[in-house]
């Protein structure tokens, strides 16, 4: 029996496209010819009353028969269709909110209701990655005014689920604005606070422009893909969790925007604030600490920029009912030794296990953040919060809590070193004066981090350390020889990684 012109039979061609729905059709099929479909046309694809928006890729080979249509793995999943079933395809009506994106491209100020239109359409899948990239670019730099950041934040909260932990219950959270390699304080802070009886349902993003995010690092130790039911169960049992935010549909627009920002290597101020605070509000947080490292090669470069960014965080947080404290910290050099998911995990475990060689800067930064959050609740003062945080960490309670959280999330496993290694040897003797955080991160990313979990580098030359000629400055780890060579090529060409005082 011949299929009707507006229907095609599905073929699973096994192509992954991450978050974007892609439909593959032959250029000579009846639908393409009669409807005038061209490559990159946006289409409505329907099956059994369910529809998705997809981007067309045109096929001119024998991979598909004339009455077949291919769907990307993501499109198959979202549509809930299997190979051999029929789907219908039609034009997508013009997306009206794109006019607002064009207005923003010309630096017009948008209203809260207009950001709601844009974000709703993005979450509904009506924007292609190209159109999302246009929106991100239009908002990049310092192009969002305070009312716009508030409007974008509220739109991102309202288009997803929001957790409710009960009336008058204090829900803590923290976030680092980034730009500093290592600095993996979150697992230590969560373990301390949960041990103190405080509730901290921590959901974290994966890396955007850095060699690792907290979710990337935690994935080397435990399962982070928790749905809402599993997340609640872990938190009610252990007072905290360490999950990937993308798996729980909290502020789903944020995860879509992040996936495109990662490709663009862009993380703009306004969108970063909206991203952070929308996730905190959606997670049901009431008290949030923002760690803001400041340094010449950190994301925030100087005290003036830090004060401005802190004021924006406070203003936006107030507008959505969050109590926020901004902690401005030292961002002149990496925190800890490891840079990359597994290598940062080694640092976290070393601090929690109170090992002799544990990085003291990571320990101290974690204690500072934990005690600051304890003070934010009003139940501890500066002295008592510090004393309690130290007691919990030094007694082993934090380590026990961390392992318990991991087991509640499904497993606890030890991270692993990558197979290939290169030791960078110092060619001079002297004292390390300054470091370039961005170049160190670049090395770790070229070695494969965060996509290769055990890739990255271990850094042994902090500011102020006296280094002898022939001493190892850092070790680069990669999961393949090709990636290691790629990182070494960059090392041989880069200048200004370390500034020496001789």
Contacts of 203 (CB under 8 A, 6+ apart): 231, 241, 243, 244, 245, 248, 250, 279, 283
The Cβ-side half-sphere exposure at 195, using a 13 Å CA radius, reads: 27
The answer to whether 393 and 382 have CB atoms below 8 angstroms apart is: no
pLDDT number for residue 110: 98
Euclidean distance between CA atoms 40 and 128, whole angstroms: 9
pLDDT digits (tens, 9 = 90+) for 348-404: 999 999 999 999 999 999 999 999 999 999 999 999 999 999 999 999 999 999 999
Query: How many residues are there in the chain?
Result: 502
Q: What is the fold of 420-501? A: Aldehyde Oxidoreductase; domain 3 (3.90.1170)
- pLDDT on residue 297: 85
Neighbour count for residue 304 (Cβ, 10 Å)? 10
Report pLDDT digits (tens) over 210-233. 899 999 999 999 999 999 999 999
Catalytic (active-site) positions: 267
- CA 88 from chain centre, in angstroms, equals 35
Average confidence (pLDDT) over 302-312? 94
Predicted confidence at residue 5, as pLDDT, reads: 43
Which band of pLDDT confidence, cut at 50, 70 and 90, is reported for residue 411? very high
30 vs 134: which has the higher pLDDT = 134
Nearest to 108 by CA among 68, 64, 138, 77: 138
d(CA 459, CA 347): 12
Instruction: Over range 116-133, report the average pLDDT.
Output: 92
CATH topology (fold) of 6-91: Barwin-like endoglucanases (2.40.40)
Distance of CA 488 to the CA centre of its chain: 27
Residue written as token pair 């060409």 = 493
The pLDDT value recorded for residue 1 is: 36
Split at pLDDT 50, 70, 90, the class of 43 is very high
One-character DSSP codes across 96-160 = TTHHHHHHHHTTPPPPHHHHHHHHHHHHTT-S-HHHHHHHHHHH-TT---HHHHHHHHHHHHHTS
Residues 354-386, buried b or exposed e (16+ Cβ, 10 A)?
Answer: eeeebbebbbebbbbbbbbbbbbbeebeeeebb
Work out the pLDDT band at 20, boundaries 50, 70, 90.
confident
- What pLDDT is recorded for position 209? 80
Q: Could you report the per-residue pLDDT of 58-110, keeping only the tens digit for each?
A: 999 999 999 999 999 989 999 999 999 999 999 998 999 999 999 999 999 99
Mean per-residue pLDDT of the chain: 93
Return the domain boundaries, the chain. Answer: 6-91, 97-159, 172-249+265-409, 420-501
Lowest mean pLDDT among 182-186, 216-220, 228-232, 256-260: 256-260
Question: CATH assignment of 172-249+265-409, given 3.40.50.12780, 2.60.40.420, 3.30.930.10, 3.40.1030.10?
Answer: 3.40.1030.10
Cβ atoms of 371 and 320 closer than 8 Å: no
The whole-number pLDDT of residue 476 equals 98
Rounded-to-integer distance, Cα 242 and Cα 266, Å? 25
Question: In this structure, what DSSP letter does residue 171 have?
Answer: B
**In this predicted structure, which of 8-12, 165-169, 420-424 has the lowest mean pLDDT?**
165-169
Token pair 């009353």 in the structure block, residue? 49
3-state helix/strand/coil string of 402-467? HHHHHHHCCCCCCCCCCCEEEEEECCCCEEEEEECHHHHHHHHHHCCCCCCCCCEEEECCCCCCEE
CA separation for the pair 303, 267 (Å, rounded): 19
CATH class held by domain 97-159: mainly alpha
Give the mean model confidence (pLDDT) for residues 421-431. 96
**pLDDT score, position 245:** 81
Question: What is the structure's pLDDT at 254?
Answer: 86
**Percent of the chain residues topping a pLDDT of 90:** 82
DSSP element (H, E) containing 330? strand 323-330
C-alpha dist (Å) from residue 388 to 170, 200, 350, 392: 18, 17, 20, 6
Q: Is 309 strand, coil or helix?
A: helix
204 Rama sector, left if φ>0, alpha if ψ -120 to 50, beta otherwise: beta
Query: What does DSSP say about strands 338-339 and 456-459: parallel, antiparallel, or unpaired?
Result: antiparallel
Q: How does strand 287-294 pair with strand 240-244?
A: unpaired
Question: For residue 206, what pLDDT band results from cuts at 50, 70 and 90?
Answer: confident
* pLDDT for 2: 39
Confidence of residue 458 (pLDDT cuts 50, 70, 90): very high
pLDDT bracket for residue 3 (50, 70, 90): very low
Query: Using CA atoms, how far apart are residues 227 and 204, in angstroms rounded to an integer?
Result: 14
């Amino acid at each position: 029996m011949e299929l009707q012109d507006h229907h095609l039979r599905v073929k699973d061609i096994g192509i992954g496209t991450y978050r974007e729905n892609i439909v593959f059709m032959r250029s000579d099929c009846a639908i393409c010819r009669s409807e005038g479909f061209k490559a990159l046309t946006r289409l409505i694809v329907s099956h059994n009353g369910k529809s998705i928006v997809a981007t067309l890729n045109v096929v001119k080979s024998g991979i598909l028969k004339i009455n077949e249509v291919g769907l990307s793995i993501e499109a198959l999943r979202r549509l809930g269709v299997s190979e051999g079933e029929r789907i219908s395809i039609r034009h997508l009506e013009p997306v009206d909110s794109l006019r607002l994106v064009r207005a923003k491209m010309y630096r017009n100020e948008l209203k809260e209701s207009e950001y709601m239109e844009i974000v709703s359409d993005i979450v509904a899948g009506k924007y292609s990655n190209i159109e999302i990239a246009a929106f991100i670019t239009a908002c990049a730099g310092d192009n969002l005014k305070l009312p716009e950041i508030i409007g974008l934040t509220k739109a991102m909260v309202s288009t997803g689920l929001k957790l409710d932990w009960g009336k008058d219950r204090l829900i803590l959270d923290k976030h680092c604005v980034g730009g500093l390699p290592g600095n993996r304080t979150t697992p230590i802070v969560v373990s301390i606070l949960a041990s103190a009886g405080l509730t901290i349902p921590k959901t974290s993003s994966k890396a955007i422009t850095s060699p690792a995010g907290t979710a990337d690092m935690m994935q080397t130790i435990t399962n982070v893909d928790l749905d809402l039911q599993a997340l609640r169960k872990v938190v009610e049992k252990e007072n905290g969790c360490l999950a990937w935010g993308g798996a729980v549909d909290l502020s789903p627009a944020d995860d879509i925007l992040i996936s495109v920002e990662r490709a663009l290597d862009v993380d703009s101020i306004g969108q970063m604030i909206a991203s952070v605070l929308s996730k905190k509000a959606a997670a049901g947080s009431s008290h949030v600490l923002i760690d803001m490292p400041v340094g010449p090669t950190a994301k925030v470069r100087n005290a003036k920029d830090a004060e401005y960014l802190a004021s924006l965080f406070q203003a936006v947080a107030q507008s959505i009912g969050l109590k926020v404290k901004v902690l401005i910290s030292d961002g002149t050099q990496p925190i800890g030794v490891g840079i990359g998911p597994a290598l940062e995990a080694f640092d976290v475990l070393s601090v929690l296990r109170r090992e002799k060689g544990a990085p003291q800067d990571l320990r101290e930064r974690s204690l500072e953040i934990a005690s600051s959050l304890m003070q934010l609740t009003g139940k501890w003062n500066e002295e008592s919060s510090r004393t309690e945080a130290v007691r919990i960490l030094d007694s082993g309670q934090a380590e026990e809590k961390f392992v318990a959280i991991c087991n509640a999330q499904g497993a606890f496993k030890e991270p692993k070193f990558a197979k290939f290694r290169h030791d960078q040897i110092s060619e001079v003797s002297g004292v390390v004066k300054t470091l370039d955080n961005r170049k160190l991160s670049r090395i770790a990313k070229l070695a494969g981090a965060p996509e290769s979990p055990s890739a990255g580098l271990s850094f042994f030359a902090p500011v102020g350390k006296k280094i002898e000629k022939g001493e190892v400055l850092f070790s680069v780890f990669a999961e393949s020889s090709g990636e290691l060579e790629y990182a070494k090529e960059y090392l041989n060409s880069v200048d200004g990684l370390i500034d020496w005082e001789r």
